[in-house]
A and B are shown apart, each in its own frame.
Chain A
C-alpha cells in the first residue's frame, strides 16, 4: 500500500520537497554554519552552493549504490569517509578553478564534511532508497539549500554593500548598512527569514483549517 502510494505520488515530490516544504535551511534548520558564514556576498554563496551541491549529489549517489555492501554497525564512519573524500575532491577542484573565492572560504568548504544536511540525507534517505530517488532527493535538497543561501546572501549584499554580484544597485551617496555583512546581520537575516517562513506556515495552516 505504502509502496504503491510512493510510486504514484511520484518522483516529482521527491524533487520538490527540498524547495520549500522541507527546506534544509529555513524548515529543517540544518547546515547553518556555512549558511551564515559565507552569505555576505552572493558570489561566495554560489561558490558554497555549488560545492555543497556537488558533494551532496555524489555522496547520495555513492551511498545509495553501496548501501547493501556496508555493515550496519559501521555505516556512519563509512558515510563520513565517503563524504570526506568528495569534500576533498571539491576543495581541490575549487582551488584549481576559482582560487580567489576558495581562498576566502576554504575553512567552510572543508567543513562541508560535518554539514548535518549531507550526513542527514545519507543516513535518512540515501541509505534506504534507490539511486534515482537519492539523486532526485540530492538535487532537490541542493537546490533548496543553494536557493536559501542565495536569498540570504542577496539580502545581505544589497543592504550591506549596496551591490549585487558586484554590481552597484544602490547609489553611492546612500550609505550601506555595513552591519548586515558582519556577524549580527547574518543572524538577523536568518532569524527574520525563519519568522517569515513561520508566518507563511501559520497563514496556510489557518486557511486549511
Chain B
C-alpha cells in the first residue's frame, strides 16, 4: 500500500520543535513594539520616520547583499528587520534621515554580510551601526529632543548627561524629587534615544522574551546585577534605580547583549559576558568620555566572546575535570 508513496529517508530525529529562527526574530520585534510606540508618543513624528528609514535601509541592504553574493534571499527571516528596528531604537529621535539610512547600511553590509551573513557576524549589527554613527556624527548623535527644561530656560539633555556634565544638583533642579525622577525614567518621559527611555515597557518586552524561551536569564540577570552592585558602591541607594532605568541599560541587557550570534554559547560564558558588560558599562558611565556606555560595553564584550567561549567550555558528562 505504501508502494506509490515516497518515503523520505533522513537521519534521526524525525520530529522538531516548532520554534524556528524566523519566529524568534519576529517575536523579538513584537516585544519591542511597546517601547517603540512609547518613543514615538514621547518624541513625535520624526521618531517614527527614523524607525521607518532604518528598517527600510536595513531590508534594502540585506536584499542587495544577498543579490550580490548570489545567496538565497533572506529578507523574510526577520533578522534584517530586527536589526533595523534595534538600530533605530538606540538613535536620537531627531537624527537626520540620511544618517539613519547610512547606519542601517553599515549595520547590515559591514558588520553582517562582510562576515557571511546571518549567524557569522562577530559584532551586534545594530550596536555597531550606532557606534559607527556616533564616531561619524558625534554632534548629531548627542543632540537630544528636550522634554525637561531648567527653571532658567536652558535645555536639558539626557539624565545621564546631566549627571555627568553638570552634577547631581542640576539633575535635581530639573526633577524636583527622586520619586519624580524615577517615575519619569520608568515611563520614559526623559531625553534619550527613541526606544531606550521607557524602562517599564522594555522590561515587559524582556519578560516576554524570557517566557517565550527566546533568551535565557543568564545575560540580563548577570548584566543588571553587576550594574546594580557597582552603582550602589559609587552612587549609594540613589544610584541603583537611577543607573538601572536611565540610558540604554534595559534595552541593552534584554535585547542587545542577548543577541545569540554575538554572545557566548554556553551558560557559564553568558554569565561572564553579562558581568563584563556590566563592569564596562559602569566604567564608561563613571570615568569615560561618554555619558552612556551600554553600546560600547556590549561591543567590547562581543569582541572577546570567542575568547570567553574558549575558556568556558561545558563539562562533558562522564569526564572528570
A residues contacting B by CB (< 8 A) are: 175, 177-180, 182, 184, 188
Contacts and interface: CB of A to CB of B under 8 A. Distances in A.
Nearest to B137: A175
A178 B110 contact: no
Interface in B136-150: 136-140
B132 interface: yes
Interface centre among B102, B135, B138 (most CB of A within 10 A): B135
B80 to A, nearest CB: 21
B98 to A, nearest CB: 9
A188 B110 contact: yes
A179 B136 contact: yes
20 contacts: A175-B96, A175-B99, A175-B137, A175-B139, A175-B140, A177-B102, A177-B136, A177-B137, A178-B135, A178-B136, A178-B137, A178-B138, A179-B132, A179-B135, A179-B136, A180-B136, A182-B135, A184-B132, A184-B135, A188-B110
Interface of B: 96, 99, 102, 110, 132, 135-140
A155 to B, nearest CB: 14
7 closest A-B pairs by beta carbon, nearest first, are A179-B135, A179-B136, A177-B136, A178-B136, A175-B137, A182-B135, A179-B132
Given A175-B96, A175-B99, 18 more contacts: A175-B137, A175-B139, A175-B140, A177-B102, A177-B136, A177-B137, A178-B135, A178-B136, A178-B137, A178-B138, A179-B132, A179-B135, A179-B136, A180-B136, A182-B135, A184-B132, A184-B135, A188-B110
Contacts of B96: 175
A178 B141 CA distance: 12
Chain B at the A interface: SS class:
helix
A182 B136 CA distance: 9
A23 B71 CA distance: 32
Contacts of B110: 188
Contacts of B139: 175
Contacts of B137: 175, 177-178
A175 B110 CA distance: 21
Contacts of B99: 175
A36 B99 CA distance: 25
Contacts of A177: 102, 136-137
Contacts of B102: 177
A184 B136 CA distance: 10
Nearest to A178: B136
Interface centre among A178, A179, A182, A184 (most CB of B within 10 A): A179
A94 B315 CA distance: 61
Contacts of A175: 96, 99, 137, 139-140
Contacts of A179: 132, 135-136
Nearest to A160: B136
Contacts of A178: 135-138
A177 B99 CA distance: 9
Contacts of A180: 136
Contacts of B135: 178-179, 182, 184
A177 B96 CA distance: 13
A178 B135 CA distance: 6
Nearest to A184: B135
B155 to A, nearest CB: 21
A58 B229 CA distance: 62
B143 to A, nearest CB: 12
Contacts of B138: 178
A180 B135 CA distance: 9
A188 B109 CA distance: 12
B95 to A, nearest CB: 11
B299 to A, nearest CB: 11
A178 B134 CA distance: 9
B142 to A, nearest CB: 13
A167 to B, nearest CB: 22
B57 to A, nearest CB: 15
A178 B138 CA distance: 8
A50 to B, nearest CB: 30
Nearest to B138: A178
A179 B137 CA distance: 8
A182 B138 CA distance: 12
B114 to A, nearest CB: 8
Nearest to A180: B136
A180 B96 CA distance: 19
A95 to B, nearest CB: 33
A140 B43 CA distance: 58
B119 to A, nearest CB: 21
B61 to A, nearest CB: 15
A179 B131 CA distance: 10
A142 to B, nearest CB: 31
